[in-house]
Amino acid sequence: MSRRTVLILFWAAVGLQAVIVALVPAGKYMALSKGRPLVLKLAPVDPYSMMSGYYAALNYEVSSPGAFNPTLSPKPGETVYALVRKGNDGAWHPEALLQDKPTGLSPDEAFLRGTFRPNRWGGQGIVYGIESFYIPEEDRDDLNRALARRWEAQPRPRQPKIGPPAPPPVPLPQPPSYAEVKVDGEGRVALVALRVGDKRFQ
């Protein structure tokens, strides 16, 4: 390999890294490069409302202020800090919702910084900037199938000839799904991967 070719490849690599850094917000870049890995549980939603083109819209267990104890009643636009604790399942679950950045945490505690504002599910919740997951084209069908398997309805009972109509099918319980994230020392969060059943999407 000639010296010129080596230089071309070197500057091409440098240019690619510069493009990546330019595309990723500074906070997310820091979280991805130096952040602590955590696993967050996804809140149950209708998977068909999650899919939007090349992106999946995500809702988390830590998105609801009501999941924390103690909690707050934040105003729209207010910054909050979600204290989470590692559970026996390996995921980090809501513990307390705070107005100020927590200090003196134990090894099995961490915090996320979020903003209270309207979400796409028709209500208000805590938004961390990890509510959209880009789906590579080669993974789109697999993710759709994995989500569909988690939302299979029970068979519809036969409609009786006499009497009231049979009830509609009831969605079966969804097995837990998780998001792998990284969190830096300021509570900024970056999404790394999505787990749906036994499938992992990155």
Task: Dump pLDDT digits (tens) for 45-85.
Answer: 555 555 555 677 788 999 999 999 988 888 899 999 999 99
Residue 129 has pLDDT above 80, yes or no: yes
**Confidence (pLDDT) at 95:** 96
User: 25, 105 in Cβ contact below 8 A?
Assistant: no
Tell me which of 36-40, 139-143, 165-169 is least confident.
165-169
Task: Look at the block and give the residue holding tokens 């604790």.
Answer: 85
13-17's contacts with Cβ under 8 Å and 24+ in sequence apart are none
pLDDT digits (tens, 9 = 90+) for 84-106: 999 999 999 999 999 999 999 99
Which residues, 6+ apart, have CB-to-CB distance to 86 below 8 Å? 92, 93, 108, 109, 110
Query: pLDDT higher for 80 or 132?
Result: 80
Tokens of 195: 């787990």
Q: What pTM, to 2 d.p., does this model score?
A: 0.70
**Confidence (pLDDT) at 141:** 74
pLDDT digits (tens, 9 = 90+) for 3-53: 665 455 545 554 544 444 444 455 555 556 678 999 999 886 555 555 555
Residue 143 has pLDDT above 50, yes or no: yes
**Confidence (pLDDT) at 106:** 95
**Confidence (pLDDT) at 32:** 65
HSE value, Cβ hemisphere, 13 Å, CA-based, for 187: 23
Residue among 193, 192, 185 at smallest CA distance from 111: 185
Q: Give the total residue count for the chain.
A: 202
